[in-house]
């Protein structure tokens, strides 16, 4: 049975320009050079340990990530960062970025977060440079604050004037799609099975995005000890294809 979450409040419709949509599609593309394909978020050990074995168990695992794990927490961190950029609030940005860098339960999950964030900023800064993005990233690097992945996406989208609603949906779609790709390769499953899972997660992604858009740092919280455990076990896994 598909798990659901309570919707807090609907987001008002926000426009997105063709150029903004083009940028967002480019940044969230599987081909964007952040190395997302190298991370399974603990799924590799979960498959070896018999916890994720088929289409249904993979879908339920990813639902847990989106509802109770980094999918939900990172969405809140992204939203708060995006609002800080919009409002020009340097204090809020620093506070959120520091928290985002610490909000990981294992060394591998921290690596996954930090490496993708750094690669994302490097790629966007090289291909879509803007003075505002340079200003915000310089503010964090000068104070030696790590730019995590959700913060990096928020900095780029906020600096480009891309709506929060579209950014959150695209970000969560990317998270889900990457985990599905890892599961499809590891279990293994057919590509059509992967697309079925992605379709089944559409409603949940929309709900998490809507909730996150109106939440604050006070709403942060997670309840995924099994994911943290599989990630920790993955560090000692003898044969590995993925970095997490």
Q: What angle do CA 86, 90, 92 make, to 5 degrees?
A: 80
Burial-class residue 205 by CB neighbours within 10 Å (0-12, 13-18, 19+).
Answer: buried
Burial-class residue 176 by CB neighbours within 10 Å (0-12, 13-18, 19+).
Answer: buried
- Domains recognised in the chain with CATH numbers: 36-234 (1.10.4190.10)
| Count of Cβ atoms closer than 10 Å to residue 170 Cβ | 21
The confidence score (pLDDT) of residue 234 equals: 87
How many Å apart are CA 15 and CA 42, to the nearest integer?
36
> What percent of the chain stands above pLDDT 90?
76
Q: Are 82 and 150 in contact (CB under 8 A)?
A: no
Distances (CA, A) of 110 to 48, 70, 139, 218: 22, 11, 21, 21
Q: List the single range of 14-18, 94-98, 211-215 with lowest mean pLDDT.
A: 14-18
For the cut 50, the answer to whether the pLDDT of residue 2 exceeds it is no
**CA 150, 156, 158, 164 torsion: positive or negative?**
negative
**Tokens 């900023």 sit on residue:** 121
Buried b (16+ CB within 10 A) or exposed e, 96-131: bbbbbbebbbbebbbebbbbbbbbbbebbeeeeeee
* pLDDT band with cut points at 50, 70 and 90 for residue 208: very high
Q: List, for residues 76-128, the tens digit of each pLDDT value.
A: 999 999 999 999 999 999 999 999 988 887 888 889 899 999 999 999 999 99
The confidence score (pLDDT) of residue 175 equals: 96
| Count of Cβ atoms closer than 10 Å to residue 69 Cβ | 24
Q: What distance separates the 2 farthest-apart alpha carbons in the chain?
A: 49
Q: Are 148 and 113 in contact (CB under 8 A)?
A: yes
Phi, psi of 46 (to 5 degrees): -60, -35
**CA 2, 6, 93, 164 torsion: positive or negative?**
positive
Q: List, for residues 125-176, the tens digit of each pLDDT value.
A: 999 999 999 999 999 999 899 999 999 999 999 999 999 999 999 999 999 9
pTM of the entire predicted model = 0.93
């Amino acid at each position: 049975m598909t798990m659901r979450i309570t919707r807090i409040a609907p987001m008002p419709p926000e426009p997105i320009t063709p150029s903004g949509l083009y940028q967002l599609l480019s940044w969230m593309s599987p081909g964007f050079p952040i190395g997302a394909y190298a991370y399974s978020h603990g799924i590799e050990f979960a498959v070896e340990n018999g916890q994720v074995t088929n289409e249904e168990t993979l879908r339920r695992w990813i639902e847990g990530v989106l509802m109770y794990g980094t999918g939900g927490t990172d969405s809140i961190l992204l939203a708060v960062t995006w609002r800080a950029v919009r409002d020009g609030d340097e204090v809020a940005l620093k506070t959120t970025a520091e928290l985002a860098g610490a909000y990981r339960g294992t060394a591998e999950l921290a690596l996954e977060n930090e490496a993708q964030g750094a690669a994302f900023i490097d790629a966007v800064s090289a291909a879509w440079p803007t003075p505002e993005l340079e200003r915000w990233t310089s503010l964090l690097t000068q104070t030696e604050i790590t730019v995590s992945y959700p913060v990096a996406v928020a900095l780029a989208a906020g600096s480009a004037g891309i709506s929060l609603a579209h950014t959150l949906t695209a970000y969560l779609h990317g998270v889900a799609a990457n985990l599905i790709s890892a599961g499809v390769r590891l279990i293994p499953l057919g590509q059509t099975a992967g697309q079925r899972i992605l379709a089944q997660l559409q409603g949940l992604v929309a709900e998490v995005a809507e909730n996150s858009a109106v939440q604050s740092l006070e709403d942060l919280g997670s309840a995924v000890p099994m994911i943290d455990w599989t990630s920790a076990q993955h560090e000692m896994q003898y044969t590995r294809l993925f970095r997490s």
